[in-house]
Amino acid sequence: MSAIPSEKLEPPRVGATLQALRQAQGLSLDELSRRAGVSKSMLSQIERNQANPTVAVVWRLANALRVELSELLGGERPAAPPIEVVAAHATPGLSSPDGLCRLRILGPIELAGQFEWYELTVQPGGALESAAHEPGSREHLSVLSGELEVTAGGSRHLVKAGETARYAVDGAHAIRNVGKKAATAMLAVLHA
């Protein structure tokens, strides 16, 4: 009896294929969730390879995407379109509990935890306060309008429109609007 290599014992990872198929069809996680009868959180976990779906879930996803099971389970990955456009309404966003800070998530999910970029809007008095990221991580904040105060590494600096601040985020850090009008910025996070 011959030994089976351990790599062959792993279930297929369908995350990247699922995401590519979903995006190629212009479907949001919400829409695919509705079509397939699979929760949005489960779809997100599958796309990030944090969960392996059951055969029943793969079958429902394949039917919802109108593809063969084999394509979803590791067949050829569909070619990415030459230009992929994400509609404004399909760009995910997060708001602070007080509603004074809004982040639009511009980067693709497959880069989360490596390289992320956001559009940040902070109303007067609003603050985006963050816990430490992994050692060696950095943020790059480019202010487009207004002014934002950055606190990191025990320092504080006011960043004006047209300026970019680059700073380590392996400690607690914050971005605050201490002005009297809304401020917008592009925020890039490079994880170590």
Per-residue pLDDT band for 8 (boundaries 50, 70, 90) equals: low
Domains of the chain with bracketed CATH: 6-72 (1.10.260.40), 92-190 (2.60.120.10)
Q: Distance between CA atoms of 31 and 52, rounded to whole angstroms?
A: 20
Average pLDDT, the chain: 86
Structure tokens of 49? 């390879």
Question: Would you place residue 12 in the very low, low, confident or very high pLDDT band (cuts 50, 70, 90)?
Answer: low
- 3-state DSSP assignment of residue 61: helix
Burial class from Cβ neighbours inside 10 Å (0-12, 13-18, 19+) for residue 79 reads exposed
Q: Most distant CA pair in the chain: distance in Å?
A: 75
* pLDDT digit string, tens, across residues 115-126: 899 999 999 999
From CA 106, how far away is CA 83, in angstroms rounded? 15
